[in-house]
Chain A
């Protein structure tokens, strides 16, 4: 008697609304003490009070699949079938997160596709923590937006098979829904703008150096590359500085670091000037083609290194120079290697195709199929 659906209730998806929960789980709920004691004769108003007392969500747990109070209340809602505005009120309320989740879950089960997307998507912005009871009885931490994501993307949640809803793209193409606008879009745009501004500022200092250094064509033509490079350059610098600072700070005080940083900056400026002079020399040489350029560079590089070692300023130069040298080396060596690999690769590929580890190419079709299924499930192939 207490388990019959309200006679005035509409049928959902062609069936008794309670049938949305499958038979075994339904029987388990009817036999549950929480259902028998607390959920007897509930109306929409008293249901709200019960929902406010919820402190966790989940499906069934334990060896004999005991349902959680959350499940029982979902069942009750399916039984009494509250009005849509009441459900929307549940969702819109901000104070009680479990009431919100309860409303969202019920709407997902019973609402139309458009309603589901329209009312559940704003809940993506809710980052509050929730307590979820797992199948083994232990609690896990989850968040409101994670649960909403599960409801919208997966087809099984809290031990209830969620009815199929159309994909968002389909609804957009029909025109029932507008394309999704994320609240984070504004944040992303702001961040992009900030990055661009920073890079433009950073360029004023490093422009000349970078250009001469890599012997590239004028600034105007290679804006993007430069920005990317300067960005990379900056990051490397930051990392180096950070490591150095961290190591130093551990041992000594911070005041000394500040002084050292000031000294370092002064040194860097001096080095930059020296670099520019040296690089101008190099560019003149680069105008002559052929390997002589390379040799001279290396010679100069060696000289420079010696000079640096004498003055004890090995830092940025050798590193960046070795980088450019490495790049040249890689540039040359890559092509001969590729040529050698050509004839070998197809042979290796053929070998691999013949001996598959899955056993999916077994001559017996039954076993091959079984192995395919096992591979899909993540199991090892059959041992024969």
Chain B
């Protein structure tokens, strides 16, 4: 059985809480906003890197992946680190800038 399934069952068993959709910790949806009119929702895996996320955003917005810069306040996210390591959760909003 996949680990996510065992987690779900544990939850239901321990607290009697119903599983609510995307809490399986594998796929998540991130919102990127550039405050100039571009707001993009991207579905991705938690083990995707920021570079992969940039490619997905580029495909949706039409800019080039190399030009995109993803930030959270003053933290510029690096290309080779995964979303899981940055603790980016489902539904989180990120800032979209261009370089």
Contacts and interface: CB of A to CB of B under 8 A. Distances in A.
16 contacts: A24-B98, A135-B66, A156-B64, A366-B43, A370-B43, A376-B59, A377-B56, A377-B59, A379-B52, A379-B55, A382-B26, A382-B43, A383-B26, A383-B45, A384-B24, A384-B26
Interface in A106-154: 135
Tell which of A24, A366, A377, A383 has the most Cβ of chain B within 10 Å: A383
A164 to B, nearest CB: 15
A383 B27 contact: yes
B19 interface: no
A384 B27 contact: yes
3 closest A-B pairs by CB: A383-B26, A370-B43, A382-B27
Interface residues of B, number: 16
A308 B41 CA distance: 77
Interface string A151-172: 0000010000000000000000
A268 interface: no
Interface string B1-45: 000000000000000000000001011000000000000000111
A39 interface: no
B45 A380 contact: yes
Contacts, number: 34
Interface of B: 24, 26-27, 43-45, 48, 52, 55-56, 59, 64, 66-67, 98-99
A369 B77 CA distance: 26
A77 B64 CA distance: 25
Nearest to A383: B26
Contacts of B99: 24, 64-65
Interface residues of A, number: 17
Contacts of B56: 373-374, 377, 379
B30 to A, nearest CB: 12
B11 to A, nearest CB: 17
Interface string A358-373: 0000000011001001
Interface string A6-27: 0000000000000000001000
Interface string A243-285: 0000000000000000000000000000000000000000000
Contacts of B98: 24
A154 to B, nearest CB: 12
A225 to B, nearest CB: 51
A65 B66 CA distance: 11
A38 to B, nearest CB: 24
A382 B45 contact: yes
Nearest to A23: B98
A366 B43 CA distance: 9
Interface in A325-384: 366-367, 370, 373-374, 376-377, 379-380, 382-384
B41 to A, nearest CB: 10
